[in-house]
Amino acid sequence: MAAILGTIMSKNLMPNYARQPVTFLKGEGAWLWDTEGKDYLDALSGIAVCGLGHAHPAITTAICEQADKLLHTSNLYGIAHQQSLAEALVRITGMETAFFCNSGAEANEAALKMARLYGHNQGYKKPTVIVTEGSFHGRTLATLTATGNPKVQAGFAPLLEGFVRVPYNNVQAMEKVAEQEAEIVAVLVEPVIGEGGIVIPDDDYLVKIRALCDRHNWLLMLDEIQTGMGRTGKWFAYQHTSKLPDVLTLAKSLGNGVPIGACLARGKVADILQPGTHGSTFGGNPLACRVALAVIETIERDNLVERAQVLGQHFYQGFSKALHGVAGVREIRVKGLMIGIELDKPCGELVSMALEKQLLINVAAERVIRLLPPLILSDSQANDIIDTVSQLIRDFLNI
């Protein structure tokens, strides 16, 4: 244990993470093993990253084969797997073009730069993007400015100009901004709020924002970094509607643990990033793109989008039954495999209580138990998660 704590408290690491006192050395599917050989059920997937679970054979094969051929040449040259990945993403999204980067924040940076170019092309001096309360868009200066959480911004002033914030799930507030601000160019929004505590908006929220954007010639930019790649029971959360965004950002589960982000676009901004306007040395390298292609192939071959939908219903029914009538449970919110259980008080301790029971969970927005299990979860693993989490909640609430 001392050795483990030693690595966690290492004086050579910047102390910017509050880590749990455990270190994992190996994984397989939804299982992880720590330095003591103890096994854990992973209901968090490395924060919605390992949708295919750990050490998936298709991903291991893709990594090994590509490592044996070519890792990196730069975007000074053509990259075959990058073109194939763009084609695959265009096919499953309905978008038209792709830019590749290495993280979610970078994908949103690309989106925000596109929005500014789009505004400047119309002669705007201060192109402004509408963002929402409770959102999370990343930790770079632009994306933390876009983020609707004062804790993420604290200490980093001066923040960027060109953002206006409205409450989430409130289209009227956006309409009001349209009357007050002249140089709005885009709306950037999460279709389901993730870090902010699994908040599912009204079914027609995106449709109404789409109509508003069309009316005012704004870009609809969706941050699907957490919701994308099948997690909500559709490839992308906007596909629960019949509408398309203008800009779509992805990262997290796109590479199942190999870092990759993407910013997709269509229509009037499909070709707005001309040579010299944007770039990334690592972005879209042969390894990351080959792996992302394998992720898409595997999700398709094993029907994992439908599986996420079915599992989500199973979780909803299971938790509704197990927690029925439990005072202290405010709401159970489920969209595919984005699962939030809101309690009536802060419940951060549940993370370490679950760890003791060899289960990985997360608490977001102080009082929301957040589960983001892998799409390859079995029924019995889902039942184990429902039983353990429900019992932990009862223990925590002293029932």
Ligand X SMILES: *Cc1c(COP(=O)(O)O)cnc(C)c1O
Q: Which residues of the chain form contacts with ligand X (CB under 6 A)? A: 103-105, 108, 136-138, 190, 194-195, 223, 225-226, 251-252
Asked whether the beta carbons of 153 and 147 are under 8 A apart, the reply is: yes
From the candidates 100, 223, 234, 246, which is the catalytic residue?
A: 223
**Cβ-based nearer residue to ligand X, 194 or 286:** 194
Secondary structure (3-state) at 398: coil
Residue in the block written with tokens 């394998």: 294
Residue nearer to ligand X on the CB measure, 191 or 318: 191
Nearer Cβ to ligand X, position 223 or 246? 223
In angstroms, give the least distance from the CB of 90 to ligand X. Answer: 21
CB of 263 to ligand X, least distance (A): 12
Closest separation in Å from C-beta 190 to ligand X: 5
Tell me whether residue 89 or residue 251 sits nearer to ligand X (CB atom).
251
Kindly state the smallest distance separating residue 258's Cβ from ligand X, in Å. Answer: 12
Residue 158: is the preceding peptide bond cis (ω within 30°)?
yes
Q: Is 105 or 265 the residue whose CB approaches ligand X more closely?
A: 105
Is residue 223 annotated as a catalytic residue, yes or no?
yes
C-alpha distances in Å from residue 245, one per residue of 93, 136, 230: 10, 18, 17
136 is an active site residue: yes
Name which of 146 and 382 has its Cβ closer to ligand X.
Answer: 146
CB 49 within 8 A of CB 227: no
Task: Note whether 318 and 382 are within 8 A (CB).
Answer: yes
Give me the least distance between CB of 211 and ligand X, in Å please: 23
DSSP structure string for 280-345: -SSTT-HHHHHHHHHHHHHHHHTTHHHHHHHHHHHHHHHHHHHTTT-TTEEEEEEETTEEEEEESS
CA–CA gap between residue 320 and residue 326 (Å, rounded): 10
Structure tokens at 59: 């991903």
CB nearer ligand X, residue 363 or residue 392: 363
Closest approach, Cβ 206 to ligand X, in A, equals 15
Q: Are strands 219-223 and 247-250 parallel, antiparallel or unpaired?
A: parallel
Cα 82 off chain centre by: 21
Residue 261 C-beta: closest distance to ligand X, Å: 6
Nearer to ligand X, 240 or 318 (CB): 240
Q: Which of 98, 80, 78, 81 is nearest to 89 (CA)?
A: 98
Return the residue nearest ligand X (CB atom): 104
Q: Which of 42, 99, 100, 136 is catalytic?
A: 136
Give the SS3 label for residue 13. Answer: coil
> Which one, of 128, 112, 191, lies nearest residue 163 by Cα?
128
Q: Are 284 and 85 in contact (CB under 8 A)?
A: yes
Q: What letter represents residue 48's amino acid?
A: A
Structure tokens at 7: 């690595």
Per the annotation, the verdict on 252 as an active-site residue is: yes
Please tell me which residue in 252, 315, 319, 335 is annotated as part of the active site: 252
Residue 194 beta carbon to ligand X: minimum distance, rounded to whole angstroms? 4
Catalytic residues: 136, 223, 252
